[in-house]
Structure 1
Amino acid sequence: MKRKEPVLNGILLVDKPAGWTSHDVVARCRRFLGERRIGHTGTLDPAATGLLVLCVGHATRLVEEMTAHSKRYIGEIRLGVATDSDDATGTVINERPVPEFGDEVLRKLERQFSGVIEQTPPAFSAIQSGGRRAYAAARAGTPLELAARRVTVHELHLRLTGPSALSVSVHCGPGTYIRSLARDIGAALGCGGHLSSLRRESVGSFAVADGWQLAEIEAVAARRMASDILLPIDEGLTAMNAAILSGDHIEDVLHGRRVQLRVPDGRGERTPVRVYGDEGALVAVGALEPDGVLRPKKVLARPD
């Protein structure tokens, strides 16, 4: 009798090596685990290393929720050299001398590029406009005119490490391009610049220290122990409030029906929630509305 493969559902943390696209990592993990339903929660550029959070099995239904996590990066900015991709893989488009500056200038830059800022994405990015990917248009020599976007930089720390080099540490919200940050910091100094290296250290509560190397994932999967390295799905949802339901309430949620959980008080706000059955299993995610109604958004368990 053919041995039945275990069902894999959960979150896989990968320490992505340099030179791999995020899609390369997903494809390799699909092959290792024998599971097609794998998706990432935010790309890393090929030249970058660090944490790539993968959703496996049923967890792929929650990629949208997990994409909203904040992220932490460390990297290096090369000053005086601008490239068309805003990183070291691109073609040099401008070179200028780097002015002398000290800590006072760096503190000013940290303030300037912290908080809610307007940021134009790199010409080489996965953003789509008019049915075309920005990177494809840039490679064809017809780069898209990309509009500036509002992003949030929670923390920014800069340190001079050489005559034309800055170390950068960033804690930012979703959608922030560190390449754009490097480009704009160089422009603010009047000499241009690009991101010469980047490592993602964390995504939400997940840390790269807990990530697996691809060779380790392959070895574990070969021993049919892949489930041992998957984290529970709800570990990616800890920022949400939790609701534990039973009886008719849980039955309604399993069928996608709204549930009145509390009496409206006129002061409530719309709150994302993760919903558990009385046995502790995650069954859905949804939103608790100001009127006290729980509206299921994605049901993960099937009704009996």
Structure 2
Amino acid sequence: MTDAPRRPTAPDGVVVVDKPAGLTSHDVVARMRRLAGTRKVGHAGTLDPMATGVLVVGIGRATRLLTYVVGADKDYDATIRLGVATSTEDAEGDVVATHDAGHVGRGEVERAVAALTGDILQVPSAVSAIKVDGRRAYERVRAGEDVELAARPARVSRFDVVALRAERIEVDGTPLAVLDVDVQVTVSSGTYVRALARDVGVALGVGAHLTSLRRTRVGGYGLDVARTLDELGAVPPDRTIDVLALAEAARSIFRVRALTWDEARALSYGQRLAAVRDGAALDGAVPDGAVPDGAVPDGAVPDGVADDDEERRPVAAIAPDGTLVALLERRGAQDVPLLVFAPA
């Protein structure tokens, strides 16, 4: 039996995958390597196997953009079950405590949520990928160790209660009243939604865990541009999969500096440019996570970037023909290339 022919190599760019439940982010990357016909594939921002939704995948030179995509803020739809605490703070863990949550009302839930909105200090989940003395926290937990992580700053820009449902379940044969709470959240990079669920349960005195988690946006990439692995796999094997080209992908995350041909040539040699401040050469990103198809008002800040971070964020330098030349960083009166994509 002969092996199936290798699919043609996809062009450099970004693919937004709607990850299914049951796969790790690494599983998705492995599938995408086959679909893209190259091993140069990476992802930005791990999703747990239980979680679904937006996973930003870079192909070829687009993998160099992923460092900056990871730092963007994110939107999630989630369901928190009040009354049951688990070892992993989600539905995949063992039950460690139960409390009747039948008395909990919407007002109490909204007060607990409000206290976790804004700039907070969050103790990350013990089953996170944070390293403790050289080993991932989740590896230590699975080995039976007790792991205590230090609180770290997090920003919860939005934490909305969408719906509540009273349920009766059985835990080890014992009936229990629980309350399922559907929420929508917008959080900074490094914020753990399962830890938010845990802390809501602690505040209400009944314990809690996540029963579902769906990521709906990472920076400028939303579900509106996401495709499932089945959809990507349906592309005929003699064709490349479609990608968001480098420039289009960069416009979804960064402000844009429109270059002249002389500036594009200088950047291709790694040279610095005089900074542009509040000028017509800086375009903002399309609001609400949309992928742009043209210029937008000057000075806008891309989704996932706070206004006070604007000067420190990279800028995408776009040539007159629409290609991505470089990512720039402001240093004093100069724009300095961080990454150069166009060859000299």
Is TM > 0.5 for Structure 1 vs Structure 2? Answer: yes
- What does the per-residue CA deviation read over 1:209-240, in whole Å, with 9 as the maximum and x for residues that have no partner? 432121221221524131xx211223343342
Q: Provide the residue aligned with 1:54 in structure 2.
A: 57
Q: Provide the residue aligned with 1:230 in structure 2.
A: 243
Computed over aligned residues only, the root mean square deviation of the Cα atoms, in angstroms, reads 2.3
Structure 1 residues 221 and 140, CA gap change in structure 2 (3 angstroms): farther
Structure 1 residues 271 and 157, CA gap change in structure 2 (3 angstroms): closer
Letter in 2 for 1:295: V
Structure 1 residues 269 and 125, CA gap change in structure 2 (3 angstroms): closer
- What does the per-residue CA deviation read over 1:180-208, in whole Å, with 9 as the maximum and x for residues that have no partner? 01100000000111001111112222222
Structure 1 residues 90 and 221, CA gap change in structure 2 (3 angstroms): farther
Q: Provide the residue aligned with 1:165 in structure 2.
A: 180
Letter in 2 for 1:260: A
Q: Provide the residue aligned with 1:258 in structure 2.
A: 272
Letter in 2 for 1:296: P
Choose which of 164, 178, 190 in structure 2 pairs with 1:175: 190
Q: Is the 8 A contact 1:99 1:191 kept in 2?
A: no
Structure 1 stretches lacking a partner, 5+ long: none
Aligned residues: 296
Is 1:126 the counterpart of 2:129? The answer is yes
- Name which of structure 1's ranges 244-253 and 89-98 shifts more when overlaid on structure 2: 244-253
Following TM superposition, by how much is the alpha carbon of 1:175 offset from its aligned partner in structure 2, in angstroms? 0.9
Q: Secondary structure at the match of 1:298?
A: strand
Q: Is the 8 A contact 2:7 2:237 kept in 1?
A: no
Query: Equivalences for 1:279-294 in 2 at 5 Å?
Result: 279-289=321-331, 291-294=332-335
Q: Is the 8 A contact 2:83 2:208 kept in 1?
A: yes
Structure 1 residues 95 and 129, CA gap change in structure 2 (3 angstroms): same
TM-score (norm 2): 0.80
Structure 1 residues 230 and 110, CA gap change in structure 2 (3 angstroms): same
Instruction: Give distance in 2, aligned partners of 1:65 and 1:129.
Output: 24
Q: Provide the residue aligned with 1:274 in structure 2.
A: 316
Q: Is the 8 A contact 2:246 2:323 kept in 1?
A: no
Q: Provide the residue aligned with 1:42 in structure 2.
A: 45
Query: Equivalences for 1:20-39 in 2 at 5 Å?
Result: 20-39=23-42
- Name which of structure 1's ranges 239-248 and 213-222 shifts more when overlaid on structure 2: 239-248
Q: Provide the residue aligned with 1:242 in structure 2.
A: 256
Letter in 2 for 1:235: E
Identity of aligned residues (%): 40
Instruction: Give distance in 2, aligned partners of 1:140 and 1:3.
Output: 40
TM-score (norm 1): 0.90
- What does the per-residue CA deviation read over 1:38-59, in whole Å, with 9 as the maximum and x for residues that have no partner? 1111111101111111111110
Q: Secondary structure at the match of 1:224?
A: coil
Structure 2 stretches lacking a partner, 5+ long: 167-177, 278-309
Q: Secondary structure at the match of 2:215?
A: strand
Is 1:208 the counterpart of 2:226? The answer is no
Query: Equivalences for 1:118-157 in 2 at 5 Å?
Result: 118-157=121-160
Following TM superposition, by how much is the alpha carbon of 1:70 offset from its aligned partner in structure 2, in angstroms? 1.6
Q: Secondary structure at the match of 2:244?
A: coil
Q: Secondary structure at the match of 1:220?
A: coil
Instruction: Give distance in 1, aligned partners of 2:146 and 2:325.
Output: 44
Following TM superposition, by how much is the alpha carbon of 1:83 offset from its aligned partner in structure 2, in angstroms? 0.9
Q: Is the 8 A contact 2:314 2:329 kept in 1?
A: yes
Is 1:299 the counterpart of 2:313? The answer is no
Q: Secondary structure at the match of 2:234?
A: helix
